Chains A and B, each alone.
Chain A
Amino acid sequence: MSTRRYLISKVLQALLTLVFVLAFNFFLFRGVGDPVTQLLRGHAGITRQSVEQLQRQLGLDLPLPQQFVHYVKETLEGHLGYSYFYNLPVSQVIAGRIWPTVLLIGLSTLASTALGIWIGIRQGWRRGSRYDQGMLGFTLFTYSMPEFWFGLLVIMAFAVGVGPFPALFPTGGYESTGAGYTGFAHVVDVVNHMMLPFFVLTLSYLGQYSLIMRSSLLETLGEDFIVTARAKGVRENRVLYGHAVPNALLPTMTVTILELGFVLSGVITIELIFNWPGLGLLTATAVDARDFPVLQGLFLLFSGSVIVANLVADLLYSYLDPRVRAG
């Protein structure tokens, strides 16, 4: 299949998946329990009149297929409903929280990936060494540990200063409230607040990336062309970085992008415990408040991001691998 056709088919597949997500979202809300009951749960003084009014308001008196079309239209226009809790359009609520999460996830993913790849290469090259085994143990440990618990430990150690640990960082938040920092001082302030959640997120997923890179490199090192390179008299360093790593890096990079789903799940609890005002904290508070429209909107956003990330991974791979590119 030619590259162009491959790319187009991948894009179409992604779109199809998005449509399914939309349908899923829609039918979930309508299907499991009556949305009106959801809304009015816990409220006193419900009359039949108010129920009917609400039903009309939500457009629930229309036939189902029509509701779905209406829903898709609304979504595409950016209307994601109205938040129960904040009394604002969901899109507005979400929009205000995007940047802190992008900042946190972006930087920590960059750090985890870069570190993970570097460590994974060293592990694969020196398989079985103490370094390798030590890192494998570390990875096993971080994999078995809930990120939020690790976060709590970090808070106690470096924000509160329990026992021998020094309190170096603020316990939470995005910036020092009321301090009114601007410009460079503001940036420094935000960075200061971001250090601990950044540290927790980076360390939590570092192991996955190093493991992926390690096995990719090990597999590549077993290939025949590595023998050829050595036979030609190429120096070991160059065999590793000139021949092995470029081949091992390809699948690693794409798998790395696919890890986004896990990082998104992790950021929800991390933002909660660090009171970081992003999408994750929004999710946690929406759960508490049973703010279903917001949860729906967030689910759409999260799923959409992962679908787009997968598409990017596919496109990137096809661009970088000459075998796929030439079609």
Chain B
Amino acid sequence: MGDPNSESNQEPLLPDDSTSFLGILITSFSTIFLAELGDKTQLATLILSAQSGRPLIIFIGAALALISTSLLGVLIGRWIANNLPRQRFTLISGVIMLSLGIYLVTQGFIEYVQN
């Protein structure tokens, strides 16, 4: 209503931002799923240690906490995207991701050698 120009039936896709909603969803899902799966041992222990009591409550509590941290992460990310120059942050993000990747691969390799 307030935005008459948005009524045009076909918005031209920006070539740079053509990554689809589903694509981004799958990317975040698989990245975080893989990263968390190897990291989930403590949490599983926590759940197991409380299993005498009520595992469902523990699961709900953990799930709520994880949803909150990702919401917080998304909000921080939005804030950064709106307040810092995008190009520079893409570069910084790339460097962070590369460092995490190198760290994880090194860790995995060390664990492999130790076994």
- Asked if A and B bind, the verdict is no
Task: Give residues in A with beta carbon < 8 Å to B.
Answer: none
Give chain B's interface residues, CB within 8 Å of chain A.
none
